[in-house]
Structures are given as structure tokens and as C-alpha cells.
A and B are shown apart, each in its own frame.
Chain A
């Protein structure tokens, strides 16, 4: 059970452009890894568009709308308007209620973004960066929102610039004590994680305080370099947003000495820009590209960094990254078009995380809450909590290293599932299919089974319905016996033509529940079954 040598490794270790067959299987693999849940129609479009067009479609970050106030507890922004630059009320209790309303709105908004992702890698990348730069929520929802937007804006942009911006972002300054790192009391927390987790990575310890890529002296020097930034305007009654401010008298103006791992260079005082100079120095080490590329690889391809992968794949990715001055997009463009990426041995090699699981159900069935602003928001909030229940609260990774499932050997994504979480996964599957739904604010959160089946290639054909569902939900083809079982559930054991008749009757009588309910019920039963199959738990 432990990933071992007997596991069949990818045949292709080439980053050369993939030139093999471009079928629904390859298109589905691409969309499964880059989106949370593609619909059958999106798969068909991707097949028709071809690999290159589909990848370039995916590598665009769509413009999105702002989070909206839906709770009347927000004292300074009206329902239906955005709160992202609204001040806070001065009364402490009211301020806290406002914050609660905003953080709920923000959590719901992030879930809605995922639920309405479209054909884009944006949401997957946002989660990637949230895991990588794992700052959790600040005490001011505007700071938390700004932080999220920073990650989103740079999602496919320049990694070096992102590191610079994150370094002095109020949320991060608060999270890793940058805001209390001053000349008078240096705090190494951020300086350490900057090297250990965010840029170059910690290598094996090869001497006292020497972690191959950096030393304890570098951490101490980094802390001094980063001194002087404070956070201002948290829950301000006048400022539209918290800001980081540089305060020169809190900055350590001494010349800082870096270790041999950074060429033993010194970093002279450069005031407010010193952090930027320091990050430039860090990024001169190609190990930074290697480090971030292994994380991208693990997130999009496979947890297993075999010797072959470290020899043949990662260096090519890193070379692309360095050639493009640390831009992310060219690296992903190359990876998602590579022979290696489409190797059959990699299909289904990742167990879905809670968010992938949930939106694998909602998105792939084109299901979205559609009641009122308040109800929909509460439903999205429910999704947030369900994911939290299964071990992935989007805005609060469990530690600064992110979710252990992305890094903890040897089990990796297997750790998402334990006896509790498997039950929760199956419970949710039942609730949103065969049960009346998850009750939220007097409505039921449930999949839209009819819309889903209507969107399939040939809904009146039982065989095609099952085939489409398999393409949408499973990373590999399932056995004939399994398919037959699913079709048996769909047709209720009747000959296939009975399904055709039932479906056609429903189509001929729009709005008539006598005809639509049996169709809905059969599709829900199949979905419930599919969502409880181990095959669906992987991508």
C-alpha cells in the first residue's frame, strides 16, 4: 500500500509536445487537473478545440465580480453592494459583526468563484497559491480579500514579483510576524519561511545551521533586511483598506551578510526597497525554480518525484521558468502540452481534495445555487464548511507549510481520506442526489440532475448516458461490469428502450413532474452511486 518500487511509472519522461491521439480521455485528463469539475459539453469542446487551443483557453484568468454584502450585520455597506473598500463602524461590537458578515461573504464568494470557474485554470491556481503562501485570514476581511486578489492577479504571472508583493502584504505581515519585526526586536518567522517554504526550500542539513540552500545566518540576515514594515488601518473607520507602511526608524540599516549559498554577498541598507533587493538575490539561485516547479508538478501531475522525474522533467520545467524570468505561465503551458503529462500511468494518480471532490460533483453537473443573494451565499458558505469538515478550509491551511496532503510522504493525497472523511464524502453525495438536499435557509442545496442529463451527448440513450458520465467523473475507464451496474440503476433494470421512452416523454412534456421526476430520480441514483465509487475519488 505504501507507494513502492513496484508501482508502474510513466513511460514517457519527455517534455516534448504531446502529439498522440487527442480524444475525450486526454481532454478530460487535462480539464480534471486544471479545473474542479468540467461538464460533458466542456469536454466535447476541448476535444473539438484540440490541445493547444484548450490549454491557451485554460491559461487565462477571467475577470470576476466583487464579493457582495448579503448580511444586514454589515454596518457600513448595503446589501447587494460590495464591502471591499468599506470602512468599519466605530462601535466594537458592530465592528465585529461587520467583520463576521464580511468574512462569510468572502468565503461564500470564493466558493462561488470555484463553482462558476468556466474553462480556466484560475481557481486551481488560486488554491495552489493559497497552499503555497499559506497566510490565513486576517482580522480585517478587506485584508484577507486583498491577499486573495494578490494571489489571483499573479496566479499565472511572475513568481518573483508575487513573492515580493506577498512579503509586504498586510495579511502576510500579520501572519508571520513581519509586522512586529523591527530593529529593536527582530522576528525571524517570515524570514525563515521565505527561504524554507516560499522560495528556495530547505535542503538536507549539511552542517550546523546549514540547510544546503541557506543557513541560519541567512535567516537572521533576512529578518534584519525585512524590518520596518507595519500594518495600518485594520478595521479602520476611515481607511478603505488596511495597508502596509514602511517606517524607516524601525528598519535595521546595518549591512547584512549572506552565506556562501548566496555568493557571500552583502545587502546594504536600501530602506523600503531592501526586501526587494534581497528577493532578487534569492532568485538568482536556480534552486528557486526547481523548488517551485516540484510543487507545481506535485499539484498538477503526481506526488511521486521519482529519480527519473527529478532528472528529466523538473529540470526542463525549471529551465523554462528561468528562461522566462520566473513567469509561471510558460511553465504550465509547456507542462500541460507535454508527452509526460498525458502518460496513461498518471491518470487518477491524485486523490481528490475536499474542494476538488465537492466541486467535482457540483461543477461537472452544472449545478449552482439559484435562489436569492442571501440563500445562495449561505449555500456557498455551507460548501465552505463541508470542505472544512472534510479537512480543507480554503482560507486557513492547517500550517504555514499548507495542507499536508500536498507534501507529506509517503501517503500524500491518501491522507485526505480517513474513516471519518470517507463517511462525510459519501454522506454529502447522498444528500445532494437521492436525499432532498442539504437544508440551507429554508431551501435545499442539491444537484440539478435534470439539467445535467439534458446536457449530455445523447440523453435518451442509456448507454451513451453512462458513457458520458464515466468520461466526466472517472479518470480511467471502468469495467464493463461496473458500467452495466450503473446502466442497470439508470434503467431500473428495464431494457434500454424503456429509458429512451421515459426520457422522451419527459422532453415532450416540459414542466410536467409526472414525467420529469422518474428521470430525475434515476439520474440521481446513478450519481449517488458514482460519487461513492473509489474511482470518482481520484483525478
Chain B
């Protein structure tokens, strides 16, 4: 069991309030999502949108339901023998050999029956719901946009800057992504080709304090920002590399993912990349009338599978596997029964894929149950709320504290272990060795100590190098657990200190470096 519990946080109530925490702002310490640890800051998440409503039942096929699938969708279902086996009861569409290999290598996982309550079968509305991560029709921000807003509250005014020179998200194609819509601006930069120069005419307008002036400032900022981000993207793409030979130039998603690999390897610090595949609205001729393993849907799945597996191959060759993970999503699945046009109509829940070397491989959730009688318009029943998957990604991958995640969503969040395999941050690795950790260290105004205890009394003090006590951090009883306590070091002079953790099970010391 890896130690990922530090975000579980010693809540203030559970410890005797350390008196040094007079005006400490917990929020401030835990702020900067996507930056909680060095590792999380380096992590990249790739989102592939399957636009139009992907037919989950012909993508991830519940083999144990095959007989009833034959009853419900005889003209669409692929031959049982052609299904690519994942588990004895589950398989992939025959064209998805790349993703099958990824599954076998532990680099692909499947979350079953994902949707939301009272599925809306309108493309637009449902895509809004998936983009905002909210059922509330009044929500206009994206699920990532809300988190970005929390972290970078004055965006776009103060960005880019020396600390954040790169766009926070990249949307491949013409459109910025609705998932990244924030309060004042969209956090994503849309681009088709990272090598293309962006050179919008910039201007030196002045905000004269009027409404007009505020618009001028906004527009000038946006123009400068688009240029600056464009230049960063160019630089990264040119500095970057790509090593896989599996990319197919005729596969548009493969081409885009190769660009993504190029940008990541070139050092671009964007945290999210969003891609889009159109065409999943397969009402007619989803399958070829002569061969159900061929047709429009098969082509789309092959595009997806080939592209993602080439990308994963590239990441491995580039040594980036532990930094990149991704997911697919679609606004809904399709109905269980096929229609007479060799297609399927708008339905409800569907599986989604998570991919990357760091995902918790395997299958989350049971196979959907397919009845033996056709019920008009019946869809796959939702079992896992997609909003919980989003929340789990924020927690597992970006290490956002759970307490900060819940306010982003309207439902009571249930966390799933979706991305765990590499979830050992630099701090974690250090902690594994020493069982005690200060982060950040060196620190400027505040730091946090993490340590383990039995059920015992604990006292934490800070001493200068001459042995004089300069700070009391904690004094009280703690339960057996890993604890995390933030404390302020505002008043300390710049220099080296020793943090002493006194406990019956054995004392520990760790050096603290206070810097300006």
C-alpha cells in the first residue's frame, strides 16, 4: 500500500490547535492545484472527446451478455469470435488491437456504465453537462475551468508570467474547450499545428478606468497572451521530440497526439490537452451491411485505438510515461437495440477509457446487463457518475485535496481509485525513505510537516543551529496515522533550522531551510 494519504489531511479539529497557526491560511498553502507536489505539477492529462455519442456496447463488449446482444442488435453486433479478449467476460471491438495490448500491459483501464442521473439525450445539452461536470443548466464554467479559476484567480490578467509561461491547457483544433471555460476567460489555447507561428497584431491600449478601458485591457491582454503562448508552444514543439514509428500520418488523431508528445517532450508545461474525434453519432450505417466488424464506427474506433497506442508507445520511448495519463469521453452511449438502418440511436451510459502507465489498470464496475426482450429506446443504465471520475482524476492525478474537490461539484463526490500506479510523488518517494518530510523545503513563509505516529503523545519544535528553540509547532496526542501539519515560519530569520519531532515511539529530526 503506497502512502497517498497525506491529502487526507489532519483536519484542524482532530489536533489540538497548534498555537503557531495564528493567521495561517490553509487554503493558501494547499492552493495552486496542479501544483501540490512537484510531481503533480509535471503531470499532463489528455482528454479525447468522442463527439456524437459513442456506442459503448460495440466498443467494450460484455461477452457474458452476447446472446442477448444478438437479440437486441443482431445487425450491429460483431461476431463473437472476432471480439478481442480482455477478460473472460469482456472484450474490445476487433479493430482495437492497440488498446487491447495496452490493457494487457496494464496501461488501459475501463470504467463501466458511466453517465449521470436522468440522462439527457440531446447532443448539445449532454455535451454541456459533460463539459461543465454539472447537471445545473446555469453552470457555464467547465469542470477544469472551475479548478483553474481557484488556482489562478486573476486569469487572464496576470498571465503568462515568469512562473506560468505556458498555457494551462491546449485544445487541439479550432475551438477552445468548454471544459476549460473559466469565469473571465477560457484557460485553453486552441491550436491546430504547434509549429505554426501565432502573430496577432498587438496594441498598446491604456485602461482609462471606463468600461471601454476594461475591455481594451482585456483584449490587449488576450492578444499578447495568445502571442506569448503561441511562441512558447512553437519553442516547445521545436525543442521536442517524437520517437514512435507507430503513428499513421493518415490518422488525424495520431497526428495530433504526436504533436502533443512533441510539446510535452519539448518542455511545455500545459497540464491538459484536449482532442476531439467527430462522427460517433452513428444512426445510420454504423456497420457495413455485409460485415459488422467494418463500417463507420469501426473506422472511428480504429482511429482512436491506433492513435492512443502509438502515443503510449511514444511516451514510453520518450521516458514520459509516468507523467502522462488520459481519458476518453462521449456525451452518451447508444441504445441497446439497434435500428433498421444498421445503426444505433441516442442512449444513456457507456464505458470510458483511462490510459497511461500510471492508471490503475483493469476494469471498474460490472458489465452492463442486457435483457432478452427489446424495450423501446432502452439505454444502458448508469452506475458510475462521470462527475465522480472527474473528481477522482483531480484527486489521484493532480493531487487536489479532497476538501477542495467537493466544492467543485454538485453531487456528493465518491472517489474511485483511477490513477494510482505511479502515484508516488517526489515527496512520497522521499517520505518512503525517511518516514518524515517537510514540504516545501526550503520554504519562505510557511511549510508543512508530514510524519507517522502510533497512538501517542507528540511534540514538535523548531530549533536554530545553536540549539535555541524558536518555534512550538504542536503538542498533543495523535492517533496512529500519517499526519500532515502546516505551520508558519514568517518570523524566523533566514537560515538553517532543525525540526524535532518528539514521540514515545522514537524521535525524528529534519532540517528546515528558511529562505527569503
Contacts and interface: CB of A to CB of B under 8 A. Distances in A.
Interface string B122-151: 001100100000000110100000000000
B226 A423 contact: yes
A534 B176 contact: no
B205 A535 contact: yes
A365 to B, nearest CB: 19
Interface stretch (B94-102, B195-203, B460-468, B479-487): B195-203
B174 A419 contact: no
A48 B175 CA distance: 45
A538 B205 CA distance: 13
B184 interface: yes
A537 B215 contact: yes
B140 A349 contact: no
Contacts of A418: 176, 185-186, 222
Interface stretch (A217-225, A340-348, A461-469): A340-348
Size class of the A contact interface (CB-based, 8 Å): 35 or more
B215 A419 contact: no
B340 interface: no
Nearest to B200: A426
B222 A348 contact: no
Contacts of B184: 1-2, 410-411, 414
Nearest to B154: A1
A348 B211 contact: yes
B88 interface: no
Contacts of B218: 1, 414, 417
Q: Is the interface of A mostly helix, strand, loop or mixed?
A: loop
A346 B442 CA distance: 51
B195 to A, nearest CB: 16
A244 B254 CA distance: 50
Contacts of A349: 210-212, 215
Interface in B195-241: 198, 200-201, 203, 205, 208-212, 214-223, 225-226, 229
B179 interface: no
Given A351-B215, A419-B225, A404 B140 contact: yes
B215 A422 contact: no
Nearest to A476: B212
Contacts of A410: 183-184
A242 B185 CA distance: 42
- Of B128, B171, B188, B212, the most chain A CB neighbours within 10 A belong to B212
A345 B128 contact: no
A420 B190 contact: yes
B157 interface: yes
Given A345-B210, A408-B140, A534 B215 contact: yes
Contacts of B210: 7-8, 345, 347-349
Given A345-B210, A345-B211, A419-B190, 20 more contacts: A1-B184, A1-B217, A7-B210, A8-B208, A8-B210, A348-B210, A399-B124, A399-B137, A410-B183, A410-B184, A417-B218, A420-B174, A422-B219, A423-B200, A426-B200, A476-B212, A529-B201, A532-B200, A535-B216, A538-B215
22 contacts: A1-B156, A3-B214, A7-B211, A8-B209, A346-B211, A349-B215, A389-B174, A399-B125, A414-B215, A417-B218, A418-B176, A419-B188, A419-B189, A419-B225, A422-B226, A423-B198, A423-B200, A426-B201, A533-B201, A533-B203, A535-B205, A535-B216
